[in-house]
């Protein structure tokens, strides 16, 4: 399992949500601001957190890189190893 965290500008957030929904991935979304440039202007954005099975990761990243402009400083994708998950079957 991998943990994908994406900080995406508001104008491109819909693209990421469409991709996540098409792959039936559950995600958490929060609104935030990111400081950009020397003048530290604040750019509104969304932060997505997704637990991704290893088999989906390559397909997800291919779709994301095709539909989101990662040259923008506010669009940031990070992937981490997920060491622990919580089972929905715990009582």
Q: Who has greater pLDDT, 88 or 67?
A: 67
Domain boundaries, the chain: 2-81
35-44: which pairs have CB atoms within 8 A and are 24 or more residues apart? Answer: 36/73, 36/74, 37/73, 43/9, 43/74, 44/9, 44/10
Q: Who has greater pLDDT, 19 or 74?
A: 19
Would you state the pLDDT for residue 40?
67
Would you state the pLDDT for residue 89?
64
**pLDDT(37) > 90:** no
Domain 2-81 grouped into CATH 3.30.70.120: yes
């Amino acid at each position: 399992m991998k943990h994908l965290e994406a900080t995406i500008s508001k104008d491109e957030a819909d693209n990421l949500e469409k991709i996540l929904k098409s792959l039936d991935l559950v995600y958490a979304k929060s609104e935030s601001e990111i400081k950009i440039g020397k003048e530290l202007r604040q750019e509104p954005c969304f932060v997505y957190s997704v637990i991704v099975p290893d088999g989906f990761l390559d397909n997800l990243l291919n779709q994301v890189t095709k539909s989101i402009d990662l040259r923008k400083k506010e669009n940031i994708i990070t992937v981490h190893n997920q060491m622990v998950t919580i089972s929905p079957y715990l009582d």
